[in-house]
Amino acid sequence: MTLSISQSAYEELMDEMDAIEPTYHPDPDEDRDFMGSFPPLLGQGYWRNIELRDGLSVTLGHLQLHDRVLSAQPEGAEDYLEFHLHVSGTHQNDGDWLGAGEYCLYGSGLMPKAAFDLLDRDPFLEVQILMRADLLRSFIGDSNGELTPALQPWVRCPDRSRYAYFGTATPAMQLAARQMLRCNFQGISKRLFLEGKSLELLGLAAAVEMARTEGDRLPIPLDLLDRIHHARDILHQQLDNPPSLGGLAKLVNLNEYNLKQGFRQVFGTTVFGYLHDYRMQQAKQTLEMGDWKVGEVARMVGYTNLPAFSRAFSKRFNMPPSDCLRKKSV
């Protein structure tokens, strides 16, 4: 079943929900920290909004839809930069898919009329950061508030369509998002922690953007750069069963030589050197979450042989994978 709902109808549902089950302050020391329940007509779960400072807020969501939901959002100008990362759950925004382990970044400017398709296959576990454009300039602009050329598209006039980029979240992004979702600090400690993690995520997004547009090493054509990043995204998405070098080259419409040279130029390593390091980093961060056993994590990152995984992990981090296990914190 699919439920279609307008933005105004959605807001009415949220208002009705607030009348039935009012939002509350999960942190008694913070009146700018609100938590509310999701309308039962659409699903179940919660959303939590924390205003960290004037012009900077974070929303943490854990929602499960009953059915697929289609919603429409009207055109409007936005003065905020939005960073949105999905730990789980999938939605589509006018053909752009945002799935588990992916993020999107919207700049300020004109937000065109859009149609959102929220799929009900998995729970939504997500982090959203909003930063006002002038605050962004104060953080990363020069003495005149001007942004570096690679990041200037992030801030546009209200009559210009806002910038949008969809990408695969790096391991560091995923770890920071999970840490925010699991944050159990209160008061000033909570605000400092969440603000630090919000700036960390925006900084990681800025690093990706600058690498895409400027390159961190020798300049290469933008078309080749896009193909190399596409190849990297494929490796991330097929971590447990990656394609061969030739298969990967075909998927991004490159020959093997250009793929190998481009990968080394952009990431400073070989294709499978990058894959190996990413697997190990992903395994370490997953183990540190405490949710899975060593054998389960080994399979997640593409190892069917547990001793081989343990040897590779120990060589990479100078400790056995079991040393990373810790009790799950909630």
pLDDT band at 2, cuts 50/70/90? Answer: low
Tell me the backbone φ, ψ of residue 40, rounded to 5 degrees: -60, -25
Q: Where are the beta strands (DSSP E) in the chain?
A: 2-6, 33-37, 43-53, 56-65, 68-73, 76-78, 80-88, 91-93, 96-98, 102-106, 109-111, 114-118, 124-132, 164-168
Mind listing the domains of the chain with CATH numbers?
Answer: 2-213 (no CATH), 222-324 (1.10.10.60)
Span 257-303, pLDDT tens digits: 889 988 887 777 889 888 998 899 889 888 888 778 999 999 999 99
pLDDT band at 313, cuts 50/70/90? Answer: very high
Q: What pLDDT is attached to residue 159?
A: 82
Give the distance from CA 97 to its chain's centroid. Answer: 12
Average pLDDT for residues 169-192, to the nearest whole number? 91
At 114, list the tokens: 């859009």
Does the pLDDT value for residue 89 go beyond 90?
A: no
Does the pLDDT value for residue 328 go beyond 50?
A: no
Write down the residue that tokens 């969440």 correspond to: 194
Residue 124 near residue 45 (C-beta atoms within 8 A):
yes
Q: What pLDDT is attached to residue 124?
A: 86
Does the pLDDT value for residue 327 go beyond 80?
A: no
Question: What is the Cα–Cα distance from 196 to 204, expressed in whole angstroms?
Answer: 12
Q: What pLDDT is attached to residue 56?
A: 96
More reliable by pLDDT, 95 or 11: 11
Q: What pLDDT is attached to residue 63?
A: 87
Residue 275 near residue 259 (C-beta atoms within 8 A):
no
Span 209-244, pLDDT tens digits: 887 765 444 456 777 888 898 999 999 889 889 999
Percent of the chain, pLDDT > 70?
A: 89
Write down the residue that tokens 């065109």 correspond to: 112
Span 106-154, pLDDT tens digits: 999 888 776 666 765 678 899 999 999 999 999 988 887 888 888 988 9
Does the pLDDT value for residue 96 go beyond 80?
A: no
Average pLDDT for residues 250-256, to the nearest whole number? 92
Average pLDDT for residues 83-95, to the nearest whole number? 82
More reliable by pLDDT, 215 or 34: 34
